[in-house]
Structure 1
Amino acid sequence: MTQVTQDQDLPSWLKLSDEGVTVTLKYKTLISGVLTDKLMMRAPSVMDWRASKVAGNGDYEKQELSLFSSLLGLTEAELLSLKYKDYQRLSAGYFRLVEEDDV
């Protein structure tokens, strides 16, 4: 995997690659019956974004939950069970995935 950005530019809990971002959670959480401390979010496609827009039906929060659930391979209930700090980490990871590299 090629690193998209320099590791020193990222917080220690965030690892970015061409395929996506791995976020180390502050609080371990139960996902599909397994206690985990890391989640991998794949890079979104236009189709992911459009599907989440339809699922959100004009509600930005629902759209974001739908998109993050899809990119992480989690159910919405699993996503909602995360501590808010960990959700913020996922959000930061997502924005690293979609921002321009040279900005």
Structure 2
Amino acid sequence: MTQAKIPSWMKLSADGVVVALTRPSEANGIKVDSLSLRSPTVRDIRAAQSAGSSDDEQRELNLFASLAEVGIKDLEGLALKDYGRLQAGYFRLVQDDEL
């Protein structure tokens, strides 16, 4: 089975993923044109789940904010297309290599 092509706006490694944004956004008080997510640990997933109770969106925001080391408000300020890129990068990052 062949792997899907990695988009040009995504740089994937074993340690994380860097996602280029369609427009600059603010992260930790600085304008950035990309965001990096480090590879998650089981601890990261458990912490996001415990902080987000039953709200799936909140759990995802908690997790992405932790992995990107930015505030939740920074993620909420992203263009929807850029947040979708971040989601795609995360799912590509945690995908099993055999799939």
Same fold by TM-score, threshold 0.5 exceeded? yes
- Say yes or no: does 1:39 pair with 2:35: yes
Paired position in structure 2 for 1:17: 13
1:35, CA displacement in angstroms?
A: 1.4
User: How far apart in 1 are the matches of 2:94 and 2:45?
Assistant: 11
> Could you list the per-position Cα deviations for residues 3-30 of structure 1 after superposition, in whole angstroms to 9, with x for gaps in the alignment?
xxx8x82000000001100000001112
What is aligned with 1:52?
48
Q: Please say if 1:26 is aligned against 2:15.
A: no
Indicate the structure whose relative CO is greater, using CA pairs within 8 Å and at least 6 residues apart: 2
The 1-side partners of 2:29 and 2:42 are apart by 31
- Runs of 4+ in structure 1 displaced over 6 angstroms? none
Q: Tell me which moved more, 26-35 or 63-72.
A: 26-35
CA–CA distance in structure 2, aligned partners of residues 63 and 49 of structure 1: 9
TM-superposed deviation, 1:32: 2.3
Q: Which residue matches 1:3?
A: none
TM-score by length of 1: 0.89
Q: Could you tell me how far apart the structure 2 residues matched to 1:45 and 1:32 are?
A: 23
Unpaired runs of at least 5, structure 2:
none
Equivalent residues, number: 97
Output the CA distance in 1 between the equivalents of 2:44 and 2:26. 25
